[in-house]
Structure 1
Amino acid sequence: MGDLPKGKISASSIHTNILQEVVGSDGVDSKLYSYTKGFSGFVANLTSEEAQKLKVIYEEERNLGLFIGMEGVMSVFPNENKQLHTTRSWDFMGFPNNVNRTTFESDIIIGMFDTGIWPESESFNDQGFGPPPKRWRGICQESSNFTCNNKIIGARYYRSKGQLIGQDDFDSPRDSEGHGTHTASIAAGNLVNGASLLGLGLGTTRGGVPSARIAVYKICWSRGCSDADILAAFDDAISDGVNIISLSVGGLFTKDYFDDSIAIGAFHAMKNGILTSNSAGNYGPPPASVTNVSPWSLTVAATTTDRKFVTNVKLGNGELYEGLSINTFDLKNKMFPIIYGGDAPSTGSDPYDSRLCLTNTIDKKLVEGKILLCDMALNGEEQLAASAAGTIMQDTTFPDVASSFLLPTSCLGLKKVSELKDYYNSSRTPTATIQKSIEGKDELAPYVATFSSRGPNPITRDILKPNLTAPAVDILATWSEATTVTGDEGDTRKVPYNIVSGTSMSCPHATAAAAYVKSFHPTWSPATIKFALMTTVYPISVDRNTDAEFAYGAGQINPIRAINPGLIYDVGEIDYVDFLCGQGYSSEFLRLVTSENNSCPQTTKKLASHLNYPSFTLSSKSKYVRTHVFPRTVTNVGSPLTCLELRLQQRSSISFEAAAPMSTYKAIVNAPTGLKIKVIPNVLSFKSLGQKKSFLVKVTRLKTKMDHIIISGSFIWYDGVHQVRSPIIAQVYS
């Protein structure tokens, strides 16, 4: 998956030659995709023996530093399926709709890589929108059930040979799952008043950049998202002219950077000035569970907002228990008998399984018309099949997320379920009712959701992942009316809006924040936009998040501050090449990636910690004192734009960055016990815009007796106005 070849030779012919070398002259028939627009690569149907032959030849020549017969091959990996990661949120972040905006926002094009879109939604109405930006080169794969407009300016769909789809999938860019519609509306949906999920979350729903355009790249179907289709979408999006790519998708396990389709595609997007925003994954809270860890991508974790959905359970003795769920069903306070799953096993079932309410373990005759108490939270399919009036489920796995179920449901914690069982066992006629959900206030928000994948970065520990976090719990946004609230069999509720949780939802929040920054600074690089977001965050309290930066990265996005960071960090392609050299990639390999005559130094290779990131990670297996020096460079971008300068910038191509270019920043260090931090020099004075200054950060982790210790510190460059914050995290691991 390297860069496009130079000269007159076509990428497609190179792909055919490589394939024929492995499978013979008939090999061209096995080729499924040739990527020839944004980068060079191909996908082919091969037997396991042919694939192994291709890989062996490639690896032998790579190890020898030769690329003769396999010239142009950068990596070989199987085509696998990746998984999808899902109004109050923007206001909670302090980002109201009436913030300062530029007219350039309507020229921003966001490429949504997902399950497609539901184009009829009011969130995507193009009333008031002019024609697409002139640079747009994409297409709309229209069909009998799908057309584009001036809001959804392009749409493509990808289904590689062998990709299985469900009977309800649309063979078009139309969304049958809801996920792609939801993420697109979070990023760039229009303002829609009176939105709710059957009365829950009533209010105005909107995207972060409602004036931006949407380009749809349907890479996911009901059974997953294939690597081949993901790369095809990257190839097209780079050529089409998108500004930001939003990709709420990831693998189950982290792979080497150039064995991962998303990392490869994002690298070539970066080369072409496009930032890729990725979800961190929903495999938390174990450490090193984060996916999408390439340093050139923006990786987003998930936090809560101050709104939660409460579903109360009222018992026959008058006790009221507060549970969590998205319950749209109304039992009108009617009381029903309670039965415990362990007391209602079906014939041949073990009561141990029936207490969990596993499939085909419940006796319908015993459960029908009653509220079923279960020791595990599932989707409610077994309870619905048993004709239960409702269900109360114990949920200790995700205690901070409200989910939708197939019947009236409330999820309680271990202590409350234990108390409910005491009532059940002590009463001759135990009864209960499950009330419709209501909105509650979460005073502790924001904190990282339990499900959100954690660092450290399993590929390169010295590169902080996730990068930052954004709202992702109980998010109301637009939904596909081709599916139901849950998408599960037996659910008949078709709705235009739904409430969903997941890092899939945090990703488009960050996408929108990046697009907002891009609208003010059209010439900023992908890295500069990403780092501006990282250095201007709302810090997250470590008290509720013991994984510290490995849970929330630099902190929660603050788009308003990010358009005026004061100082910026930047990283370009050559810096990433130096980084990859330090990771052990050869000069020959990197020339395939970049098509440039780049060579790795023969002597000292740059450490990952030397990459010009605004975060500092010190990881070590040693419990003894360890000191590391991090070199960094920042650029002065000045003070806030005045109203006059904003108007002038909107009317012309001139970029007015500041009225007063001179500034002096002082380093303010926060060094907790166990960590020494020194910034050299600790004062930076700038005399002009665009002036660069370099400095060193010396971090010493003191001796410790413990494994897996995490120490979290920071420092801030402060000029009296701007606070350019960098997190510093040290870890001892076994």
Structure 2
Amino acid sequence: MNRCYKILRTVALTPSIGPSSIKIVGAQYFARAAIAAGEFNSTRDYASPFDADGHGSHTASTAAGNHGIPVMANNFNYGYASGMAPGAQISVYKALYPFRGYMSDVVAAVDQAVEDGVDVLSLSIGPASVPSGPSAFLNVLELELLFATKAGVLVVQAAGNGGPSSSSILSFSPWITSVAASITDRRYNNSIRFGDGQSLIGTGLAPPTIGGVFFQVAAAADVCQRNITAGLVESCQDADPFIRSLVRGKLIICTYTFDFESEAATIATVADTISKIGAAGFILTMDPDIGYEQIKGATVTLQVPRVILNNMESSSALWEYYNSNTMRSRSGIDIGFRATTRILDGREATYTWSAPVVASYSSRGPDVNNALLETADVLKPTIMAPGSSIWAAWSSNSEGDQYIKEQNFALLSGTSMATPHIAGIAALIKQKHPDWSPAAITSAMMTTANFSATPGVPILAQQKNKLSPTTPFDFGAGSVNPSKAIDPGLIFDTYFKHYVQFLCIVPDVDDMSMRRAVGVGCPSKKTDWCSDLNTASVTVSNLVGSRKVTRRVTNVGELDEKYIVLVREPFGVNITVRPQVFKISVNASRHVTLFLVATQTANSYTFGEMVFEGNNNHVVRVPIAVYVSSTLGF
């Protein structure tokens, strides 16, 4: 009954899709382990599939919500939304709760889902931490998901929100499609206009101040009781210190302090304070010691007019205007507020039409360590999808987030939000190609993914305070391209026996441990390397001298096709591919071999790619990641 960390509190699945007026075809809950541990409270946690949190509703509707649904929040229409596979049916398996949950309940939910015959399993959950060594691949949840894959279920899992740190992946097994998150090009900008005509741009999903008139502005510390420490009132978390006669009808300047970063303070509480004291709205400025532009709660919809000045330049400009227009006594006490401003409407979206950028929070590779303390020969994450500022359904009675209480839609960010995008796309591919295996569907998404913004312009990744060029450890094979994934040309197919062979090559995994864990022993003829697993990527975590890596491609196009194989070599590696040119018939398969020779050691992974260019316009792209440990032979 190991505790299971939650990125998402409920487990949602998309089974076979087809014409039907029924959207949710099944809903069950699993809590035996939680009940046995004494943590389950039926009055709080609901002994039913009801979503007491909201995240399950959000992810399920992203994967397979109906088409063209108006997104209404706080009585405002933010537009119309559709799930990725609106014709799909959903079966819900609730196994996590506000107190988190237990691994055995999650395993029971997955087991039931497989028995029910679902096609795609969307898991926005992960472990609290990933163990090193072979036990990572042989733990109970990873093996349960392996058997789900064996049954033909494609498992899609959130990569985790531990970025931008390297090796922060929580979804690590090669039979799982691990999803990274990108930011989107949709922005909700807001602005304030000063009485002297100046304007400042900020953010804030909130209505404007009423009447188009200008309101007096007052800093929180200037309209509170004098015996209260300034730091306690600047964050506007408590209504008691405010002097009602001074704040009524004014716009209050609050400050985003370190308390917000530690979640001791919230923007929702600021809005509640402003409502209680009768102010007209609030302006949130940045603490100079933080200077962090991604404010927690910035995308929450509120009914109180607000604007967030999420950079020091704008914050300083506001304070300069305020201080120059505030009359003070010799002791520094304010005696007149002459600064005026109004807040404009922040609920209208604008679009930058920019390329996707890897979100800073999205967990990065490389994958977990094996028993030799080398990272595994597995590329993680697998693929990237939109995960930031995603509108989707919400449980209106949810206790999960006070920001979104009593709302039917919410705007959320995380790899949890990216995961159902991939699950829904997988359902569409499954409808088009019902005989494809889970690995074939993943391969189709990987080899057709976008790896650049425009030709020659790489997709970038958010780091803590900058943008950097991406590597496959940021976004896997790239940003998913659904229209191309339907017709990939070639696929790299993998089945249960191949995953068994992979596990048998992992250091310190022997035949006995395999029989205990998987029920079958290791084959008498083993492959040489974990890197030989037939995935749509090549990862070599310890290249010493040279290595031969084999891949098997299958033509899933409608015509025979001739391919030319091109290679962009990682730094420090020479790669020869055989054959370099081949013709392949429809439904036929053939092997392609890469010969890697180390030419220069490096202190980190280096990256390249193998590209199959077909004469029927198929382009099949395979990322390559290599760590050169030594140029000497074996």
**Where in structure 2 are the equivalents of 1:564-643 lying within 5 Å?**
564-583=487-506, 584-599=508-523, 606-619=528-541, 628-637=547-556, 639=557
- Counterpart CA distance in 1 for 2:53 and 2:511 is 44
**Where in structure 2 are the equivalents of 1:412-431 lying within 5 Å?**
412-428=310-326, 429-431=338-340
Indicate the SS of the match to 2:610.
strand
**Where in structure 2 are the equivalents of 1:718-729 lying within 5 Å?**
718-720=613-615, 721-729=617-625
Whether 1:152 aligns to 2:24 is: yes
- Counterpart CA distance in 1 for 2:610 and 2:178 is 22
Identify the match of residue 556 of structure 1 among 479, 487, 492. Answer: 479
- Gap regions ≥5 residues in structure 2: 327-337, 370-374, 462-467, 630-634
Cα distance change of structure 1 residues 363 and 264 upon mapping to structure 2, 3 Å threshold: farther
Cα distance change of structure 1 residues 347 and 173 upon mapping to structure 2, 3 Å threshold: farther
**In structure 2, what residue type is equivalent to 1:156?**
Q
CA displacement at 1:465 relative to structure 2? 0.9
CA displacement at 1:628 relative to structure 2? 4.6
CA contact (8 A) 2:300 2:404 kept: no
C-alpha offsets along residues 161-208 of structure 1, whole Å, 9 cap, x if unaligned?
133458554332122322111211111111134334347664332112
- Counterpart CA distance in 2 for 1:257 and 1:201 is 46
Q: After TM superposition, where is structure 1 displaced by more than 6 Å over at least 4 residues in a row? A: 342-349
Question: How does the TM-score come out when normalised to structure 1?
Answer: 0.70
C-alpha offsets along residues 651-710 of structure 1, whole Å, 9 cap, x if unaligned?
xxxxxxx2x3x3221012334766644323212222452232232153657455xx55x6
- Counterpart CA distance in 2 for 1:345 and 1:286 is 41
Cα distance change of structure 1 residues 401 and 287 upon mapping to structure 2, 3 Å threshold: farther
Cα distance change of structure 1 residues 199 and 128 upon mapping to structure 2, 3 Å threshold: farther
Greater displacement, 361-370 / 433-442: 361-370
CA contact (8 A) 1:85 1:282 kept: no
Indicate the SS of the match to 2:385.
strand
Identify the match of residue 544 of structure 1 among 437, 460, 463. Answer: 460
CA displacement at 1:367 relative to structure 2? 6.1
C-alpha offsets along residues 551-579 of structure 1, whole Å, 9 cap, x if unaligned?
21111112222222111112222222222
**Where in structure 2 are the equivalents of 1:89-488 lying within 5 Å?**
113-114=11-12, 129=20, 150-159=22-31, 160-161=34-35, 162-165=38-41, 169-198=45-74, 202-255=78-131, 256-258=135-137, 262-328=141-207, 331-340=210-219, 351-352=230-231, 354-355=233-234, 357=235, 363-365=241-243, 369-376=250-257, 377=260, 379-384=266-271, 386-387=273-274, 389-394=281-286, 396=292, 398=294, 402-404=298-300, 407-411=304-308, 412-428=310-326, 429-437=338-346, 438-459=348-369, 460-483=375-398, 487-488=401-402
CA displacement at 1:424 relative to structure 2? 3.1
- Counterpart CA distance in 1 for 2:219 and 2:255 is 7
Paired positions, count: 571
**Where in structure 2 are the equivalents of 1:641-660 lying within 5 Å?**
658=558, 660=559
Cα distance change of structure 1 residues 605 and 305 upon mapping to structure 2, 3 Å threshold: same
Q: Percent identity?
A: 30
C-alpha offsets along residues 466-494 of structure 1, whole Å, 9 cap, x if unaligned?
1011112222222222248x831xx6863
- Counterpart CA distance in 2 for 1:266 and 1:481 is 31
CA displacement at 1:502 relative to structure 2? 1.7
Cα distance change of structure 1 residues 129 and 320 upon mapping to structure 2, 3 Å threshold: same
Indicate the SS of the match to 1:171.
coil
Indicate the SS of the match to 2:565.
strand
CA displacement at 1:498 relative to structure 2? 2.5
- Gap regions ≥5 residues in structure 1: 1-42, 44-78, 87-111, 118-123, 131-149, 640-657
**In structure 2, what residue type is equivalent to 1:723?**
V
CA displacement at 1:535 relative to structure 2? 0.6
Indicate the SS of the match to 2:5.
strand
Indicate the SS of the match to 1:82.
coil
**In structure 1, what residue type is equivalent to 2:365?**
G
Question: How does the TM-score come out when normalised to structure 2?
Answer: 0.80
Indicate the SS of the match to 1:420.
helix
Cα distance change of structure 1 residues 410 and 370 upon mapping to structure 2, 3 Å threshold: closer
Identify the match of residue 612 of structure 2 among 717, 721, 725. Answer: 717
CA contact (8 A) 1:663 1:687 kept: yes
Cα distance change of structure 1 residues 479 and 716 upon mapping to structure 2, 3 Å threshold: same
Identify the match of residue 581 of structure 2 among 658, 683, 708. Answer: 683
**In structure 2, what residue type is equivalent to 1:468?**
I
**In structure 2, what residue type is equivalent to 1:392?**
L
Which of 1 and 2 has higher RCO (CA within 8 Å, sep 6+)? 2
CA displacement at 1:278 relative to structure 2? 0.6
- Counterpart CA distance in 2 for 1:380 and 1:399 is 9
- Counterpart CA distance in 2 for 1:358 and 1:400 is 15
C-alpha offsets along residues 73-127 of structure 1, whole Å, 9 cap, x if unaligned?
xxxxxx21422359xxxxxxxxxxxxxxxxxxxxxxxxx715x99xxxxxx9x99
Greater displacement, 171-180 / 464-473: 171-180
CA displacement at 1:228 relative to structure 2? 2.2
CA displacement at 1:310 relative to structure 2? 1.3
- Counterpart CA distance in 2 for 1:544 and 1:556 is 11
- Counterpart CA distance in 1 for 2:145 and 2:214 is 55
C-alpha offsets along residues 327-377 of structure 1, whole Å, 9 cap, x if unaligned?
25654545444455676787886545655x285698323766442331345
Residue 562 of structure 2 is matched in structure 1 by 664
CA displacement at 1:293 relative to structure 2? 1.3
Supply the RMSD in Å over aligned alpha carbons.
3.5
CA displacement at 1:728 relative to structure 2? 2.0
CA displacement at 1:725 relative to structure 2? 0.5
CA contact (8 A) 2:189 2:204 kept: yes
- Counterpart CA distance in 2 for 1:166 and 1:213 is 28
C-alpha offsets along residues 606-656 of structure 1, whole Å, 9 cap, x if unaligned?
433222221123446x9xx9755432221222x3xxxxxxxxxxxxxxxxx
Cα distance change of structure 1 residues 589 and 200 upon mapping to structure 2, 3 Å threshold: farther
- Counterpart CA distance in 1 for 2:625 and 2:138 is 28
Indicate the SS of the match to 1:84.
coil
**In structure 1, what residue type is equivalent to 2:609?**
S
Greater displacement, 466-475 / 281-290: 281-290
CA contact (8 A) 2:489 2:618 kept: yes
CA contact (8 A) 1:283 1:452 kept: yes
**In structure 2, what residue type is equivalent to 1:323?**
G
CA displacement at 1:214 relative to structure 2? 0.9
CA contact (8 A) 1:158 1:219 kept: yes
Indicate the SS of the match to 2:428.
helix
Residue 432 of structure 2 is matched in structure 1 by 520
Whether 1:501 aligns to 2:413 is: yes
CA contact (8 A) 1:312 1:321 kept: yes
- Counterpart CA distance in 2 for 1:127 and 1:690 is 29
C-alpha offsets along residues 301-350 of structure 1, whole Å, 9 cap, x if unaligned?
11123222112233343332222333256545454444556767878865
CA contact (8 A) 2:7 2:416 kept: yes
**In structure 1, what residue type is equivalent to 2:460?**
R
Cα distance change of structure 1 residues 381 and 211 upon mapping to structure 2, 3 Å threshold: closer
CA contact (8 A) 1:346 1:361 kept: no
Cα distance change of structure 1 residues 456 and 348 upon mapping to structure 2, 3 Å threshold: farther
